[in-house]
Amino acid sequence: MAAPSNALQPARGTHDLIGDEARRFEHVVSTARRVVADYGYAEWTTPIFEDTRVFARTLGDTSDVVSKEMYSFDDRGGDSLTLRPEGTAGICRALVTNGLTQTLPQRAFYQGPMFRYERPQKGRYRQFHQIGAELLGTTDAFSDAEVIAMAYAVCQALGLAEGLRVEINTLGDLESRTAWRSALVDYFRARADALSGESRKRLETNPLRILDSKDAQDRALLDEAPAFSAYLNASSKAFWDRLRWSLEAFGVPFVENPRIVRGLDYYSHTAFEFTTDRLGAQATVLAGGRYEGLVGQMGGPEVPGIGWAGGIERLALLLEDMAAEAPGIAVLPTGEDTMAAAAAVAQSLRARGLRAEIVYRGAMKKRMERIVKSGAEYAVVLGDEELSRGCVQLRDLRLRAQREVPIDAVADQIRAIGSA
């Protein structure tokens, strides 16, 4: 049924989660929650808005998120607040705020809404939702591989691993990145006239972002750009080798993609993305990497971390058709005198883990028509005569069979029929 033409609509870039979409959403969250718990992760819930500095410091003033996409506002006390555009910064802030930097490592899982002012399209919203995980306080490539393996296990549990590619790259240490960045800047400056207007701006503020450009002019230059592998020092090469060896040990298939970059200096060594061909332009459904310095920017010590985040909406779009909710049981009182008994029967069924709905409005014939149309499996009819004997009528709507059963045995009878 279409909404009235004058009905208020959701704000652009937001959407309601109802019915099958809600079931898919919850399935992604509950599956991820279960899998990461097996890896020793506990769920952290941070506020959906933070002091703007939490994100402006960590994402950088020149990033597109800070300069174009954040929802920031001054509250009535004059404080600048921002709806969170991502989850990692809030987790790092919470680590410091709650005095957890002395008990490392910390393993955190999170899920919830994020907010970015972007152009909406399939799988991309202005209020979107993510699952994510952060491992704080480890420095070894083996740990990085286990974090990637955990993300892969989530996708396996969702039945999506076969259709995804795990792409990895190395960003090296700061020394390696500095040398590479200098070579890139020299390369692009010599060809500035061939760059797009946006990339010419990035050349002065955040040159690594040029590597993310989708502009045809820019892409034509990237094939000849200096390769990062030529600037890796010995320790960075060793870390990269150990990461790939560890992923093989964890049984995670991967491909190397040197185009995966992060534009901010605190990212280091490991970067990865899970991509698919099934969502059009929105190819990445989960991504992450190693970082240093974020905890320090929150006022804490220099604690390294590695993490990932996955878009719940995008992951949900990839799920196969999900079964509808389990068919329920309709409880039908035949009149006001049987309402109390109907309430007691419904509560007893619910206490046994069965879905039960009391259907008491309208004529009995109309009620039965609605119940059959709803897909309910059973109807429990409470009439005065049956109740006087301590019984009800139990109708199996699939088999169109009916029997009289004791009122205190309804749940047992339904369980017995279901297991027969």
Query: With contact defined as beta carbons under 8 Å apart, do 272 and 285 qualify?
Result: no
Q: Is 58 in a helix, a strand, or coil?
A: helix
Supply the pLDDT for residue 145: 98
Known binding residue 266? Answer is: yes
Known binding residue 385? Answer is: no
Q: Return d(Cα 211, Cα 225) in angstroms, integer.
A: 9
Please list the pLDDT of the chain residue by residue as tens digits (420 residues): 567 778 899 899 899 999 889 999 999 999 999 999 999 999 999 999 999 999 887 665 545 565 578 999 999 999 999 999 999 999 999 999 999 999 999 999 999 999 999 887 776 789 999 999 999 999 999 999 999 999 999 999 999 988 899 999 999 998 998 898 899 889 988 888 888 888 888 888 778 778 777 788 888 888 888 888 899 999 999 999 999 999 999 999 999 998 888 766 678 999 999 999 887 655 899 999 999 989 999 999 999 999 999 999 999 999 976 655 666 899 999 999 999 999 999 999 999 989 999 999 999 999 988 888 888 899 999 999 999 999 999 999 988 899 999 999 999 988 888 765
Known binding residue 267? Answer is: yes
Q: In what order do the strands lie in the sheet with 305-311?
A: 42-43, 106-115, 127-136, 305-311, 284-291, 267-275, 165-170, 255-256
Q: What is the DSSP string of 175-238?
A: HHHHHHHHHHHHHHHTTGGGS-HHHHHHHHH-GGGGGG---HHHHHHHTTSPPGGGG--HHHHH
Q: Return d(Cα 250, Cα 239) in angstroms, integer.
A: 16
Mind listing the domains of the chain with CATH numbers?
20-173+233-318 (3.30.930.10), 329-419 (3.40.50.800)
Known binding residue 88? Answer is: yes
Nearest to 255 by CA among 266, 263, 247: 247
Q: What share of the chain is helix, strand, coil (3-state, %, to 5)?
A: 45, 20, 35
- A 10 A CB-CB count for 242 gives 16
Query: With contact defined as beta carbons under 8 Å apart, do 13 and 300 qualify?
Result: no
Q: Which residue has the tokens 């506990």?
A: 42
- A 10 A CB-CB count for 191 gives 15
Known binding residue 134? Answer is: yes
Query: With contact defined as beta carbons under 8 Å apart, do 392 and 385 qualify?
Result: no
Known binding residue 278? Answer is: no
Q: Name residue 113's beta-bridge partners.
A: 129
Known binding residue 23? Answer is: no
CB-based burial, 139-166: b 16+ in 10 Å, e otherwise = bebebbbbbbbbbbbbbbbbebbeebeb
Which structure tokens are listed for 189? 């400056």
Radius of gyration of the chain (CA): 28
Q: Return d(Cα 83, Cα 78) in angstroms, integer.
A: 16
pTM for the structure as a whole: 0.85
Known binding residue 130? Answer is: yes
Nearest to 410 by CA among 335, 332, 325: 332
